[in-house]
Every structure is written in C-alpha cells, then in structure tokens.
Chain A
Amino acid sequence: MTDPGMTTTTSAPSLRLDNLTRRIGGRAIIDGVDLAVAPGECLALLGPSGCGKSSVLRLIAGLDTPDAGRILLEGDDITRKPPQRRQVALVFQSYALYPHLNVSRNLSLGMEIRGVPAQEREREVTSVLAMLQLTELAQRLPAELSGGQRQRVALARALLRHPRVFLLDEPMSNLDAQLREELRPQLRSILCAGSAPVIYVTHDQQEAMGIADRIAVLSNGRVQQCGTPKDLYLTPANMFVASFIGRPQINLLPQEDGTVLGIRPEHLVATDDSGIPVRVLNREWHGASQQLLVSSPQGDLRWTCDGAQPIGEGLRLGWDRRHEHHFLKTTGARC
C-alpha cells in the first residue's frame, strides 16, 4: 500500500456498467445505463417504482442477463458469469432470511456450503453478531425477530460473504419511519467501513441523500443525472431530477418564451412591494419551519419559511435570481 502507484489503481472504478440494456417484451426496462462506482463508495439508485432500479441490481447480481452492455467488476468482465461466482452480496427488500433456520444458522450455512472450516465459521459469526448487536438473538428464528432485527441479520449475512460489491434493494422499506431515521447512520457506518462499493436502491430521496456519496436518478430505465446530493440539488439536469430531489417539491412556472422557471420553496422570501402578490391557501406549521401553499398570478406556489415568519394580509413573495433554474418546456432539459 506504500507504493505510490497504488493510488491510481484504487481510485479507478471498482464496478462499472457500460451501456447496460435489458428489454422485456420489446420494451427497454433498462436503457443504456452507464455508471461507475469507486471502491468504498456508496451510490444510491433513486427513482420512482418501475424505473428499473431493482432490475439493475439483479443484472449486477447475475439473477438476470442483460441484452446489451457490459458489467465490469474490478476490471473483470462478469456480464455472463454465473451468480455464484461473482462474489456479490444482495440484501433483498424482503431480507430473504431462511425461515426454518435460526439466526446463527442463517449466517453460517452459506459459509459451510462454501467450505469455510467450522472453527473459522464460528469465529466470524460470533464477531459479526457482536458487531450488529445480535448476539442475544442468535438462537431465534426469523419469525421471532422485529423488522429492524431481521434487517440486521440480512446485513450480517451479506457481510460474511466478504463480497466485492454490496447491493441493497430498498433495505429500509419494511421499517417504520422513526426506525429508518435511527438506522441510517448505523447502516452507513457498517457499509462504508469496508472497501467494497455499495449500490443502494431506494425510492426515498431523503434516504438517498442521507446515506449515499453519490446519487444516480433513474427514470424510464435511464440515468437522468448522477452526482453528489449537492450537485443534484443545486444544478438538477432536468425537470424530473429537479422535482424528485428536494421536499417540498420545486415550484415549476411555465414562461412565455417556451421555458420553465424552477424555484425551490425554501428560496422564496417575503418582500415589500417588488415581489408578486400572493394569497395563502393552506398553512402547515411545524415549529422550526412552516410550509405554505399560496396562490399567485403565476400559479400556485409552495413556500417554506421560518416558523417565526408572520403571515398577514398583503403578502408579497420574491427570490434571489441566483436560485432560479431554467428548463426547456419541450424536453425538460436544463437551459
């Protein structure tokens, strides 16, 4: 590792997808996807349901075969390799724990099948159980665990594989909102501890922004934009990304000249006379902040402001020009 030449090797992508395409019944559910993930990086695949994000995971895992394109893992072309020889771990949305086996057997059976000696199995299972605070639950059946505990067992099983890439398919979707927020930092620290890249599929933009180093937004089987959460928020490549990233949704105001003006609710400010006059339609007060729906001559606007902001008659809203986004009405692309 002291060899300076090593730095270039480690920064090269660990996993690369080249023009990956999958058609089902003549329709491309994945349409020329190019992505690169660096060692130790966590990439979120974000998109609405049916956008093809889970299908990308299945192609990387080898549970499905692409119609075109290549998958390169550490420089080696695994596009046609059988799944058991790819050294890829996939955490399923349902966790897929073996229901008839207790926690420790769920963890050790795979290693036994792969011929790991009994002593080593024992040692590894014990250490991963301790790491994920599962030691007490080792003898329980999956049915006797809570959702969060099942998720940790599924993670533990994936960790024991020592995979070359971790794939996670909506690992939080079966958990309630509070637990999800609690688990996010924990999940992040476990996943990012190793050098294997992580691909994390989710439809929740908040979760993606909280966990991932970079986010690829998918729609209709295509990558709409790939970048850091900040990139996606500050310079969305098109209207789809602009409305998918950021809550409440960005305000999109059609203009006379065939463009659409985008302005985020949090960038609207109350002004004196220069702004546009608005009338409050709905107000949700959250304490630190408040969210309003107001009507204006340009259409209805979502507005987020400080909880202390007084809302009275004759309200006018304005914004800083720097916060404007412009998109083409026809293609939705940024202009």
Chain B
Amino acid sequence: MKRFGRGGAALVVLLLLWSLGPMLWQLYTSLRTPEALLGDGAGPGGGWTLANYVQVLHGAPPFWRYLLNSTVVGAISTLLTLLLAIPCAYALSRRGGLLRLVVSGGLLAAAVFPYVLLFLALLQVARQFGLANNLLALCLPYAGLSLPLAVLLLQAAFAELPVELEENALLEGFTLMQRLRWILLPLMGPAVVSTGLLVFLFSWNEFPIALTWLSRSELLTLAPAMARIAGSSVFTVPYGAFAAATVLGSLPLLALLLLFQRQIVAGLTQGAIKG
C-alpha cells in the first residue's frame, strides 16, 4: 500500500464511500425511527430503534419466508445451470473450427440479449403451461437465461487447461466422467464457483419475471416482496421497513461472497498468470 502514497489512500477511501455509501445509508435508515428520519424530535443519541426489523420479520408472511424462497430458487437455478453448462462447455472447448465459432457466436448473442424484452412472452408461456404461482418453475427461465453466459465462461476455463492433462488421463484409462470428476473440474474450481455465483446473483435480484409469474404472497421471492413492502401503504413510504428488508436481503449474499472469496478472486484473475 505504501507505494500509492497519501493521494492513493484518499482515492481508495473515496471509491469505498462511493460504492459502500448507499448501503451504509440503508443500514443507517433501517435503524432509525420514522420521526428521527423525518427530522423532528429525537435528541442526540436518540431515535435509534430495531422496530423496523421487528416489523419486517413479523409481517405476513414473515420475511424469512422470502429469503427461503429466493434461496431455494437461486440454489436450484444455479445447480441446474451448472449441470447443463459444464458438459456443454466441455464439448464446445474440445471442438475446433466452424462449429465452435457458430455456437459461441450464438451464445454470445443470447447472453447480451436484454432479457427484460422477453418477460411478456414468458408470462404467456407460464399461462400456457400452468407454471404461474409455482416457485420451482421460476428456475426454468432463470437457468435458461443464465446458460449462455455460463457456457461461455466455463468454455474459456476448459480451454485454458492444458490438453495433455486430459490426454494423459485418457491413456491412464480414465473414462470421460472420471476425467471430469478427478482432473478437469478440480482444476476449474474457481471458474465454476464464479460462474455459479453470477447465476445465483442474477436469480436473487431478478424482478420482472418473478413479479409476473408469482402473485401468492407466500411464494414471493425477495425482489417482488420488497417492492410490496415499499408500496404497502397509500399514505406513507415505509423507509425504515424497506431499508431493514434491504439489509436482511443482502446478508445471505454477503455470507456467500465471504465463503467463496478466495475462489472468486482466483476465478477473476484466472489466465492472468500461467501456472
């Protein structure tokens, strides 16, 4: 750090404030009484409260229900995506020539397509196949929308593994599944974790599809649930409760990132240094 000097340190603090500021503001808001927020009454040291959290946690249905829903949808979407993307990415990375170019191009086009444009069509699909108000059905569009990017990322990671490793395993008698299980996937840990987290984040934050596919309140995932909290009263905006919900909704993500910190950094810098 010393090399950056004082100016560098100031810049780092500025960047931290820029990205963490809104979150710290939410944390602050969530711990204040409505009166304190609106600026009347509370003396110095006063106006702090946990009432916002109590309110959110004792809502109907209670907040943990949304957390559970989002966790289940996120976990299943991620598993489904990885399960399908890993074999696709492997096959693609081992093919040369035109086929790989065409498929990769198609995947790239699908990955950059703004999926919001699809949500009305997806709603029709949900109606047609009776998938509305089915929590697990939400995993289908989530996995489908995540697949292109996941395949592209994993394919690049597969392509980076030296081909001799797999050839040696082949000569040693490993079957395809054994090669994936023992040689390739252990070496792709960081890439798999980073890709999985991206998928999980997408499904955790996804709003339009969840909003239109789900209407029963005990099935809601976090994003539409929070929108409901924000719009629950005609007369006031429940800033405190909304902020408390935001904080609670971010905690699982924070835990996940801390848990996989090392792999994420390794995944992001993969290929930067040849081992």
- A residues with a Cβ closer than 8 A to B are 61-63, 83-84, 86, 88-90, 92, 94, 96, 98-100, 109-110, 113-114, 143, 157, 161
Contact = CB atoms under 8 A, between A and B. Distances in A.
Contacts of B168: 90, 92, 96
B35 interface: no
Contact of B171 (A88, A94, A98): A88
Contacts of B43: none
A113 B182 contact: yes
A110 B175 CA distance: 11
For B168, B170, B173, the residue with the greatest tally of chain A CB atoms inside 10 Å of its CB is B168
Instruction: Determine the interface band of chain B, counting residues with CB < 8 A from chain A.
Output: 10 to 19
Contacts of A94: 162, 164
A32 to B, nearest CB: 26
Interface string B171-190: 11111001000110011000
A57 to B, nearest CB: 11
B160 interface: no
A37 B187 CA distance: 38
A96 B167 contact: yes
Nearest to A62: B171
Given A94-B164, A96-B165, A98-B165, A83 B178 contact: no
A164 to B, nearest CB: 12
A92 B164 contact: yes
A238 to B, nearest CB: 34
Nearest to B161: A99
B3 to A, nearest CB: 28
Q: Which 4 A-B pairs have the closest CB atoms?
A: A110-B172, A96-B164, A96-B168, A84-B173
A34 to B, nearest CB: 24
Contacts of A109: 172, 182
Nearest to A100: B186
A83 B182 contact: no
A84 B162 contact: no
Given A84-B172, A94-B162, 18 more contacts: A62-B171, A63-B171, A83-B170, A84-B170, A84-B173, A86-B171, A88-B171, A89-B171, A92-B164, A96-B162, A96-B164, A96-B168, A98-B165, A99-B165, A109-B172, A113-B178, A113-B182, A143-B275
Interface string B3-21: 0000000000000000000
A113 B173 contact: yes
Contacts of A86: 171
Given A90-B168, A100-B187, A143-B275, A110 B162 contact: no
9 contacts: A61-B171, A63-B171, A83-B170, A84-B171, A86-B171, A90-B168, A100-B187, A113-B174, A161-B172
Nearest to A163: B171
A143 B173 CA distance: 24
A270 B212 CA distance: 99
Nearest to A142: B275
Contacts of B187: 99-100
Contacts of B172: 84, 109-110, 113-114, 157, 161
Contacts of B183: 98
A213 B29 CA distance: 83
A247 B168 CA distance: 35
A99 B170 contact: no
Contacts of B173: 84, 110, 113-114
Nearest to B165: A96
B162 A90 contact: no
Nearest to B172: A110
B165 A63 contact: no
A138 B257 CA distance: 35
B185 to A, nearest CB: 10
Nearest to A114: B173
Nearest to B187: A100
Interface in B121-164: 162, 164
A75 to B, nearest CB: 21
